[in-house]
Amino acid sequence: MTAATGTTRMLAEIREQPAALHRTIEALLPLRPAVAALAGRTRQVLFIARGSSDAAALYGRYLCEVGAGRLATPASPSVATRYHRRLDLAGVLAVALSQSGRTEEIVETLAWAADCGATTVAITNDGDSPLAAAAELALVTRAGPERAVPATKSYTTQLAALVVLALGLGADPALREGLVRVPDAVAALLDTDPEPLASALSDVDGLVVSGRGFAASTAWELSLKVRETCSIDASGLSYADLLHGPIAVAGPRTPALLVAAGDGPVLSGVLALADRLAAAGVPVHAIGGGDALRRRADTAVPGPDLPEQLAPLGLVVPGQLAVEALARRLGLDPDAPGGLAKVTQTDERPA
């Protein structure tokens, strides 16, 4: 918590997101031709990431496949860093995401991908980082310094960079017009009162966070935020995966938090899931999903005024606000969760 303002750094950085997004979009949209030039040498996309950046990469995969018609897959960094297995990556666009650009595993994996024949792109908040230096093209976000350990503005600016990537890969140019509206849509969400949702989650044994399609990335990211910031066992799942068994963990003391855009082909499934959970006595809370999901939820907060493909840039914001408020309710410091650091190194390196 900052002494000068009496507020947490996490909350301050959540509130900086409209400006950070505006700077990032303004800086990166002119790089679409450079992305397109690289994309012309490739057929599919390989995402390299960990943590919140991995949640962002899930959003990127939907943008590539649904938006740009490009097959996209997640990398397993240990193939490069522990098994040292060479693959044929000719025709692959390897995209590595790291807010710091200093996670050694991610830098090493991107260098490995290049050595295996891939074309490389970095998405990072530090243009002077090793990751940016390792890539043929760096999409440098403009989040500014992020001092709270939980990623907030660095996460949403990564999502904006992924939209620019998708535009360079051939996504509908109309996506650009929606992207420039995102900062204002996010600004409108900063007036969301997080206390009802934080109160509802303050005495639980666990939490199931679920969405599908583009919003699955938001479910994954918010479950991570709840785990790392509030020390609550939270599972982030596509509702399709949830229905294949894990739904059994939901109950009166393990509620569900459903996230959804206000439109799109997966909304009907989210509504059906809400009905099923409620019928089983599971408390249902919601972010987004329009009036239809709000009517089915015990507690609901609105989502952004954005189409489904861009909704994750806004859907996460009420969740961030609720997580920050929940941590304080539980007597925890959201700026510095125990056992975590801003730059995470996956493996100890030999001396």
Q: State which H helix or E strand residue 199 sits in.
A: helix 195-200
Residue 227 corresponds to which tokens in the numbers above? 């785990």
Q: What percent of the chain has pLDDT over 90?
A: 89
The verdict on 218 and 105 lying in the same domain is no
Mean pLDDT, all residues of the chain:
94
pLDDT of residue 4: 41
Domain-embedded: residue 185: no
Q: pLDDT tens-digit profile of 176-221?
A: 999 999 999 999 999 999 999 999 999 999 999 999 999 999 999 9
Q: pLDDT tens-digit profile of 254-274?
A: 999 999 999 999 999 999 999
The verdict on 50 and 172 lying in the same domain is yes
Kindly indicate the confidence band of residue 3, based on its pLDDT and cuts at 50, 70 and 90. Answer: very low
In the chain, the number of structural domains is 2
Q: Which residue has the higher pLDDT, 2 or 4?
A: 2
Domain-embedded: residue 347: no
The verdict on 126 and 165 lying in the same domain is yes
The verdict on 131 and 14 lying in the same domain is yes
Q: Is 120 helix (H, G, I), strand (E, B) or coil?
A: strand
The full DSSP string for 219-241 is: HHHHHHHHHHHH---EEEEEHHH
pLDDT tops 90 at residue 343: no
Q: pLDDT tens-digit profile of 123-143?
A: 999 999 999 999 999 999 999
The verdict on 200 and 277 lying in the same domain is yes
The verdict on 254 and 236 lying in the same domain is yes
pLDDT of residue 18: 98
Domain-embedded: residue 266: yes
Residues spanned by the domain of 198: 190-329
Q: pLDDT tens-digit profile of 76-120?
A: 999 999 999 999 999 999 999 999 999 999 999 999 999 999 999
Q: pLDDT tens-digit profile of 140-183?
A: 999 999 999 999 999 999 999 999 999 999 999 999 999 999 99
Domain-embedded: residue 342: no
CATH of the domain at 134: 3.40.50.10490
Q: How many residues would you count in the chain?
A: 351
The verdict on 28 and 171 lying in the same domain is yes
The verdict on 279 and 302 lying in the same domain is yes
Domain-embedded: residue 81: yes
The verdict on 17 and 164 lying in the same domain is yes
Closest listed residue to residue 331, CA positions, set 210, 252, 230, 263:
230
For residues 7-32, give the mean pLDDT: 97
Please say whether the beta carbons of 101 and 124 come within 8 A.
yes
The verdict on 159 and 202 lying in the same domain is no
- Secondary structure string (H, E, C) spanning 269-330: HHHHHHHHHHHCCCCEEEEECHHHHHHHCCEEECCCCCCCCCCHHHHHHHHHHHHHHHHHHC
pLDDT of residue 246: 75
The verdict on 276 and 129 lying in the same domain is no
The verdict on 159 and 38 lying in the same domain is yes
The model's pTM: 0.94
Kindly indicate the confidence band of residue 350, based on its pLDDT and cuts at 50, 70 and 90. Answer: very low
